[in-house]
Structure 1
Amino acid sequence: MTETTPQTDKQNVKASLNQPITDQHVLIAGGGHVGLSFALLLAHHGIASTLIEKNAYPEISPADDAKRSHYLDSRNTALSRRTVQIYQEIGLWDELQSHACRIDAVQVSEQGSFGKATLNKAEEKVESFGQVMENAWLGRKLLLAVNASPLITVLDNTSVTKVDQAKASVSVTLQENSAASATLNSQDSSTANERVLTGSMLVACDGRDSSIRQLLGIDITTYDYKQSAIVGVVQTDKPHEHVAIERFSPAGPLAVLPLTDPDGDGHDLQQAGYRRSVVWVCRKGEEQQYLDDETLFLETLQTAFGQRAGKFVKAGRRGAYPLTRVLAKEQVKGRCVIMGNAAHTLHPVAGQGFNLCMRDAHVLAQMLASQVMRGEDIGETKMLKRYEAARQKDQKRVIRFCDAVVLGFTHPNRAVKLARNVALVAFDKLPNIKPLVATYAMGLKS
Structure 2
Amino acid sequence: MMQKTDSNLSQATTKEAVTEQQVLIAGGGHVGLSFALLLAHHGIASTLLEKNRYPVISPTDDRTRSHYLDSRNTALSRRTVQIYQEIGLWDELQSHACRIDTVQISEQGSFGRAQLNKAEEKVESFGQVIENAWLGRKLLLAAQQEPLITLIDGANVIAVEQHVNSVTLSFNQDGEEQNEQQLQASVLVACDGRDSSVRQLLDIGTTTYDYGQSAIVGVVETDKPHLHTAIERFSPAGPLAVLPLTDPEGDGNDAHQEGYRRSVVWICPKGEETQYLEDDAHFLTTLQQGFEQRAGTFRAAGRRGAYPLTRVLADRQVVGRCVIMGNAAHTLHPVAGQGFNLCMRDAHVLAQMMNVQVLRGDDIGNTQLLQRYEKARKADQKRVIRFCDAVVHGFTHTNPAVKLARNVALVAFDKLPNIKPLVATYAMGLKS
Select which of 6, 9, 26 maps to 1:5. 9
What's 2:292 paired with? 306
In structure 1, the partner of 2:4 is none
Residue 121 of structure 1: aligned partner: 118
Counterpart CA distance in 2 for 1:35 and 1:175 is: 19
Give the residue type in structure 2 aligned to 1:204.
A
| 1:322 is the counterpart of 2:319 | no
2:101 maps to 104
Q: Is the 8 A contact 2:52 2:155 kept in 1?
A: yes
Which sections of structure 2, spanning at least 5 residues, go unmatched?
Answer: 1-6
Partner deviation per Cα, 1:362-417 (whole Å, 9 max, x = no partner)? 00000000001111110011110000000000000000000000000000100000
Tell me how far apart the structure 1 counterparts of residues 19 and 291 of structure 2 sit (CA, whole Å): 54
Are residues 18 and 145 of structure 1, via their aligned partners in 2, closer, same or farther at CA, if it must alter by over 3 Å?
Answer: farther
Alignment match, 2:205: 219
Q: Secondary structure at the match of 1:318?
A: strand
The whole-number CA distance in structure 2 between the counterparts of 1:248 and 1:65 is: 36
Aligned partner of 2:192: which letter?
Answer: D
**Superposition pairs for residues 344-355 of structure 1, below 5 Å?**
344-355=330-341
1:20-56 deviation line (CA, Å, top 9, x unaligned) = 5211100000000000000000000000000000000
Distance of 1:55 and 1:276 partners within structure 2: 29
What is residue 157 of structure 1 aligned with on the other side? 154
State the AA in 1 paired with 2:283. Answer: F
Once the two structures are superposed, what CA deviation does each residue of 1:340-376 show, in whole Å capped at 9, x if it has no partner? 0000000000000000000000000000000011111
Equivalent of residue 169 in structure 2, options 158, 169, 172: 172
What do residues 220-245 of structure 1 show as CA deviations (whole Å, max 9, x unaligned)? 00001111000000000000000000
Counterparts of 1:254-265 in structure 2 under 5 Å? 254-265=240-251
Q: Deviations over 1:34-82 (max 9, x none)?
A: 000000000000000000000000011102242679xxx9421000000
Identity %: 76
Give the corresponding residue for 2:216: 230
Give the alignment's TM-score, normalised by structure 2: 0.96
Change (3 A) 1:414 1:24: same
Matched residues in 2 for 1:65 and 1:21: separation?
Answer: 32
- Which of 300, 308, 320 aligns to 1:334? It is 320
Q: Which residue in the other structure is 2:40 paired with?
A: 43
- The letter for the 2-side match of 1:137 is W
Q: State the alpha-carbon separation in 2 of the partners of residues 142 and 267 from structure 1.
A: 20
**3-state DSSP of counterpart to 1:276:** strand
The answer for the alignment partner of 1:366 in structure 2 is: 352
Deviation at 1:6, TM superposition (A): 3.7
Q: Does 1:403 align with 2:360?
A: no
Alignment of 1:33 with 2:30, yes or no, is: yes
Question: Which stretch has the larger CA shift, 284-293 or 407-416?
Answer: 284-293
Structure 2 residue 44 is matched with structure 1 residue 58: no
Q: Which amino acid aligns with 1:416?
A: V
DSSP-derived class of the 1:262 partner:
coil
Q: What code does the residue aligned with 1:28 have?
A: I
Residues 162, 320 of structure 2: 8 Å contact kept: yes
Distance between the aligned counterparts of 1:168 and 1:302, measured in 2? 59
- Tell me if 1:428 matches 2:414: yes
2:83 aligns with one of 68, 81, 86? 86
Amino acid in structure 2 at the alignment position of 1:77: T
Q: For the structure 1 residues 20 and 210, does the alpha-carbon distance in structure 2 shift closer, same or farther, using more than 3 Å as the test?
A: farther
Counterpart residue number, 1:273: 259
CA distance in 2: counterparts of 1:194 and 1:268, whole angstroms: 50
What does the per-residue CA deviation read over 1:208-229, in whole Å, with 9 as the maximum and x for residues that have no partner?
0000000000000000111100
Aligned to 2:74: 77
CA contact (8 A) 1:105 1:121 kept: yes
| 2:424 corresponds to 1:438 | yes
CA-based RMSD of the aligned residues comes to 1.6
Residue 273 of structure 2 is matched in structure 1 by 287
SS of residue matched to 1:55: coil
Structure 1: distance between partners of 2:321 and 2:52: 25
- How many residues are matched? 424
- For 1:68 and 1:163, how far apart are their aligned partners in 2? 33
What runs of 5+ residues in structure 1 fail to find an aligned partner? 10-16, 181-191
Measure the CA separation in 1 of the matches of 2:61 and 2:227.
Answer: 31
Instruction: Call closer, same or farther: CA 1:193–1:78 in 2, change over 3 Å.
Output: same
Moved over 3 A (4+): 17-20
User: Secondary structure of 2:176's match?
Assistant: helix
Letter in 2 for 1:249: S
Q: Distance in 1 between matches of 2:380 and 2:373?
A: 12
Q: CA deviation at 1:7?
A: 2.2
Cα distance in 2, alignment partners of residues 254 and 274 from structure 1: 18
Distance 2:151 2:64 in 1: 26
Give the match's secondary structure for 2:386. helix
- 1:26–1:202 Cα contact (<8 Å) kept: yes
Is 1:206 the equivalent of 2:192? yes
CA contact (8 A) 2:332 2:388 kept: yes
